[in-house]
Amino acid sequence: MDLSFLSGVRVLDLTSVVVGPSCTQRLADFGAEVIKLEPPEGDVLRSLGGPSPSGRHSGMFLHFNRKKRMLCLNLKQPDARTALLKVLDGCDVLVSNMRPDALQRLGLDAVSVRSTRPNLVHCMITGFGPGGPYRGRPAYDPVVQSVAGIAGLSERRDGAARYAPLLICDHVTGEIAAGAIMAALVGRARTGVGSTIEVPMHETMAAFVLQEHLGPATFTPPLGPAGYAPLLDPNHQPVATADGWITISAATDAQVRSFLTTIGRSELLDDPRFRTVADRMRNVGAWIEVRRAAIAAIKEQTTEHWLTVLAAADVPAAPCHTLETIMDDPQLAAVGLLVAETHDQEGEIRSIRPTILDDGLPGTVGRAARPIGWDTRVVLTEAGLAESEIGALLQMNAAHDGQAG
């Protein structure tokens, strides 16, 4: 089934790479009609995201641009900008992740476009918010991981700063921007007035870090150094088994008692340092040392053995998948997360279906991403341009019709 929460909402997508497309992909999955604008050379993610059989749709590009209509205009040409504004007249939302000055030069900043479209929801995803010294600087995921303190968490724990091997800042900021847009649409339904939204990546991710790690430094005077000790301990890692790795997480008092019994440390059940959550937090170093000492016993048996034993004891545990084994995970196979499809240009592909369930059913994958400008002609026609006007744009290379080759 297609999720239809945003049915009837039209979104003009001026985003590229990951942070913006992840936002508009969420809106598309919820039923919005998303029109993705690309320059003649296309979104850089078409190539930056890795190889593909045709060279036109990397795997990453396909996953972040499902269900979107592809419009190609060269905004360096005034006639193309005029055509884009006509497309915008029929839209409810504009989303961009351009730098603010670039958006303003194109006349697509909130002040310019909302002066004649007060009901428009204008959302700008930026690297750094207004009023600070970093405003206007380019920002990509590793830059934000560094400046927001994410890479530094590894330095605190392991002695060397490292990026998380995932575009976590792009994903999180994109999802928050999608949520802000949907909230603004609810507000517009009530008031009839749109909104001007900005979601800065740096401040968004710094807030995430500090929500978990400001901790004792929340108070004045501080009750201790910032940092959530259990997460920052070097032993807070997956544990090696005889044939792989496993993650074990015992947090509640009942889980801890079951865990201690399972690993053969029943003598610690009445240890006053470990009886309650508060006791374990006061003695977190000793508690983590107990868990570290359990590694020797865990290494003696297979992952499957421990998963069975721990499940029987109601202790949270899971296999530590690799990129290869996750695709064979029985839970993901049972719920059909990966969907086999045939793409017109790329052949057989695996798509990732939406994970949100409506009345117990997930949304469909929908149409796969298409070549640059695949929907240019029909989108411009819907915006009211005559065939002669569209032909002139194509002739002067201000627009590109992807279906014409």
* Residue 296 clears pLDDT 90, i.e. is over it: no
The per-residue pLDDT for 289 is 83
8 Å CB contact between 139 and 110: no
* Residue 295 clears pLDDT 80, i.e. is over it: no
Cα angle 124, 125, 127; round to 5: 130
The per-residue pLDDT for 305 is 95
Average pLDDT for 93-105: 96
CA separation for the pair 239, 237 (Å, rounded):
6
Q: How far is CA 266 from CA 88, 155, 256, 278, 311, in A?
A: 67, 35, 11, 20, 18
**Residue-wise pLDDT tens digits, 341-391:** 999 999 999 999 999 999 999 999 999 999 999 999 999 999 999 999 999
8 Å CB contact between 63 and 337: no
8 Å CB contact between 380 and 83: yes
Alpha helices in 214-265 (DSSP H): 229-232, 253-262
Buried b (16+ CB within 10 A) or exposed e, 318-328: bbbeeeeeeee
And the tokens for 145? 């991981």
And the tokens for 113? 């476009």
And the tokens for 175? 């999802």
**Residue-wise pLDDT tens digits, 164-213:** 999 999 999 999 999 999 999 999 999 999 999 999 999 999 999 999 99
Buried b (16+ CB within 10 A) or exposed e, 131-166: eeeeeeeebebebbbebbbbbebbebbeeeeeeeee
Domain 10-208+337-404: CATH class, spelled out: alpha beta
Q: Do domains 10-208+337-404 and 239-319 have the same CATH topology?
A: no
- The partner residues of 14 in beta bridges, in order of sequence, read 96
Average pLDDT for 288-297: 80
* Residue 294 clears pLDDT 90, i.e. is over it: no
And the tokens for 331? 């839970």
8 Å CB contact between 350 and 374: no
On average, the pLDDT of the chain sits at 95
Show me where the domains of the chain are located.
Answer: 10-208+337-404, 239-319
Residue 73: helix, strand or coil by DSSP? Answer: strand
In CATH, what number does 239-319 get? 3.30.1540.10
CA separation for the pair 345, 212 (Å, rounded):
45
Q: Transcribe 163-216 into DSSP letters.
A: --SS-HHHHHHHHHHHHHHHHHHHHHHHHS--EEEEEEHHHHHHHHHHHHH-GG
**Residue-wise pLDDT tens digits, 4-60:** 999 999 999 999 999 999 999 999 999 999 999 999 999 999 999 999 999 999 999
Structure-token match 């240009």, residue found: 345
Residue 305: helix, strand or coil by DSSP? Answer: helix
301/405: higher pLDDT: 301
Residues 6+ apart with CB under 8 A from 203: 128, 129
